[in-house]
Amino acid sequence: MTNHPDNDTASFFPGKQPGLDLLSSDDEERAGIRVTRAEFSRMMGCSRQAVTDWANAGRIVVGADGRFDPRQAVASLLRTGDPARIRAKVLEPLVRDIGKRDQRIADLEAQLAAANEQKDFNEAVGDEYQELFEAFDGALAGAWNDLLEHPAPASLAALRSWLETALQYGASNAGSLIDHLPDAFADAAARDDTEIEGGAPASEAEPLV
């Protein structure tokens, strides 16, 4: 049964002349593009023999130069054959391009998600270091005078130990800088405090009577 051209072609190309208008520019249409059988077979994704069979059956009209208008050929095929199969052939390049576009969009979305995740991580690390530096500044201000009373190597060791502890366990768990003095210096400081508070050290105190 022959399909009515107005119904098939109008629904396939609403508001357009039947044929390949969907895939052609206005300039090409005005220029009257014409193709060979081989070119049309590539456009339709079929064999050249199929195009020859369509021509021999009168379904497409080939000019004396062996060329024909692909828009008119598609319109004729829609009138004389299965519109669904012709539509699928015509739209196949467009569907393929849409698939590539969708994959590209998915790739870009994945890259954007990864970039946002990295940004969030960098911001979190930056905030942690900012808090650490602020805590270190406060700890240093509170212990500065005490550190000056100790040899420079001991004070530097205390600073290094405090930072290592703060990085591993958090600044709130690092304690005072004085707590991080090497044991020998911490013991000496304790003995000094004893001498100041109680007079002479226990080893030099007078024996009890």
154 vs 201, residue with greater confidence: 154
Q: Tell me what the mean pLDDT of segment 83-112 comes to.
A: 76
For 16, phi and psi rounded to 5 degrees? -130, 160
According to the model, what pLDDT value does residue 90 have?
63
Q: Tens of pLDDT along 160-185?
A: 999 999 888 888 888 888 889 887 55
The three-state secondary structure class of 119 is: helix
pLDDT tens, 110-151?
999 999 999 999 998 888 888 888 989 998 898 898 888 889
pTM as predicted: 0.39
| Spatial distance between the Cα atoms of 107 and 110, rounded to a whole number of angstroms | 5
pLDDT at 102: 80
For the stretch 58-88, pLDDT in tens is 988 998 898 999 888 888 888 877 667 666 6
10, 42, 56, 89, 208 from 71: Cα distances, Å = 14, 14, 18, 13, 123
Scanning the chain, the segments in alpha helix (DSSP H) are 5-12, 26-31, 37-44, 48-56, 70-80, 83-148, 152-169, 183-198
pLDDT of 5 > 80? The answer is: no
In the predicted structure, residue 30 carries a pLDDT above the cut 90: no
Stretch 153-164: mean pLDDT, rounded? 90
**How many CA atoms does the CB half-sphere of 137 hold within 13 Å?**
6
**The pLDDT of residue 14 is above 70:** no
CB 18 within 8 A of CB 9: yes
